[in-house]
Amino acid sequence: MNALMGKKALVTGGSRGIGAATALRLAQEGADVAVTYVQDEGAAKEVVAKIEAMGRRGLALRADLADPAAARTAVEETAEAFGGLDVLVNNAGVGVLGPLDQLTHADVDRVLSVNVRGAFLAAQAAAARMTPGGRIITIGSCMAQRVPGPGGTLYATSKAALSGLTKALARELGGRGINATLVQPGPIDTDMNPADGPYADGQSAMTALGRFGTAGEVASAVAYLAGEGAAYVTGAELSVDGGHAA
Ligand code: NDP
Below-50 pLDDT ranges, the chain: none
User: Nearest 10 degrees: CA dihedral of 1, 20, 219, 173?
Assistant: -100
pLDDT at residue number 55: 98
**Residue 119: inside a domain, yes or no?**
yes
Alpha helices in 37-152 (DSSP H): 41-53, 70-82, 105-111, 118-129
Query: How remote is the CA of residue 134 from the centroid of ligand 1, in Å?
Result: 23
**Residue 191: inside a domain, yes or no?**
yes
Half-sphere exposure of residue 160, counting CA atoms within 13 Å on the CB side? 11
**Residue 3: inside a domain, yes or no?**
no
pLDDT at residue number 45: 98
Please tell me the distance from the alpha carbon of residue 104 to that of residue 97, in angstroms, as a whole number: 11
Range of the domain at 17: 8-240
- Total structural domains within the chain: 1
Report which of 165, 204, 198 is spatially closest to residue 182, judged by C-alpha positions. Answer: 165
Q: How far is CA 132 from CA 84, 98, 171, 210, in A?
A: 12, 42, 14, 40
Predicted TM-score (pTM) of the model is 0.98
List, in sequence order, every residue forming a beta bridge with 11; answer none if it has no partner: 35, 89
**Residue 1: inside a domain, yes or no?**
no
**Residue 246: inside a domain, yes or no?**
no
Determine if ligand 1 sits within 6 Å of the CB of residue 230.
Answer: no
**Residue 180: inside a domain, yes or no?**
yes
pLDDT at residue number 2: 86
Q: How far is CA 95 from CA 110, 153, 220, in A?
A: 10, 11, 23
Report yes or no: 18 and 12 within 8 Å, Cβ to Cβ.
no
**Residue 118: inside a domain, yes or no?**
yes
**What CATH number is attached to the domain comprising 98?**
3.40.50.720
Q: Which atom of ligand 1 is closest in space to residue 41's alpha carbon?
A: 47
Determine if ligand 1 sits within 6 Å of the CB of residue 13.
Answer: yes
Determine if ligand 1 sits within 6 Å of the CB of residue 158.
Answer: no
Please tell me the distance from the alpha carbon of residue 132 to that of residue 200, in angstroms, as a whole number: 42
The single-letter DSSP state of residue 206 is H
Is 155 designated active site? yes
Q: Which atom of ligand 1 is closest in space to residue 203's alpha carbon?
A: 40
**Residue 123: inside a domain, yes or no?**
yes
pLDDT at residue number 210: 98
